[in-house]
Amino acid sequence: SDIGSQKERVVTEEEWLQRWEMGNIGFHKEQRHPLLQKYLDVLLNGRSGLRIFFPLCGKAVEMKWLADMGHSVIGVEVSEQAVKDFFSEHSLPYCEEPVPEISGAKMFQSTSGNISLYCCSIYDLSSSIVGKFDGVWDRGALVAVNPRDRQRYASLMINLVEKSSSYLLVTVSYDPNKHKGPPFYVPESEVKNLFG
């Protein structure tokens, strides 16, 4: 296929944790993503008080921005350091509790209650645990998923959203033989196959 050698590449959870530990997080941006600002109306579609999901959230600053607009933000991230950094960098008090349905998982919630970040693998989530979402901001998420897990990821995401939801997806385009990823190259044709 046109994704070449990237198809076989696997980045383990341990490698992600190490990246956070080493501060090797070039994917994190201090400024809000220009495409979220541009397409915010598409995401919200005139609605207020939405439940917005950030898969593979890192410490994305847009979570605070959307929460400040009155939406509920739910994220999932394997790195506890990322989650704690998010709350401390925005001076947000939070509490931490176990997630009874997922062994070893913790949920970190802002004291104000409108930001809930699950610290576990996204593949541990299901709609019976986290409910369904009205909107998704997928930046650095599908493109960070190991290529062999994309189908599983997409099926899960489809399961986690309401029928009336909007899903904003950011991918990157480049020659996959020149960089091993992540971010992985996800061609438009593959997005169509995965999400229909």
Interface residues with ligand SAH (CB under 6 A)? 16, 27-28, 56-58, 60, 76-79, 82, 121-123, 139-141, 144
- Complex with ligand SAH: residue 62 or 190, whichever CB lies closer: 62
139-168 residues labelled b (16+ CB within 10 A) or e (exposed): bbbbbbbbbeebeebbebbeebbeeebbbb
Q: How far is the CB of 46 from ligand SAH (least distance, A)?
A: 25
Strands 133-139 and 115-119: unpaired
Strands 133-139 and 51-54: parallel
Q: How far is the CB of 82 from ligand SAH (least distance, A)?
A: 5
- Complex with ligand SAH: residue 34 or 46, whichever CB lies closer: 34
23 belongs to an annotated ligand binding site: yes
24 belongs to an annotated ligand binding site: yes
17 belongs to an annotated ligand binding site: yes
Give dist(CA 12, CA 118) in Å, integer. Answer: 18
9 belongs to an annotated ligand binding site: no
- Complex with ligand SAH: residue 48 or 103, whichever CB lies closer: 103
Strands 51-54 and 115-119: unpaired
- Complex with ligand SAH: residue 44 or 172, whichever CB lies closer: 172
Give dist(CA 147, CA 49) in Å, integer. Answer: 34
Binding-site members for S-adenosyl-L-methionine are: 16-27, 56, 77, 121-122, 139
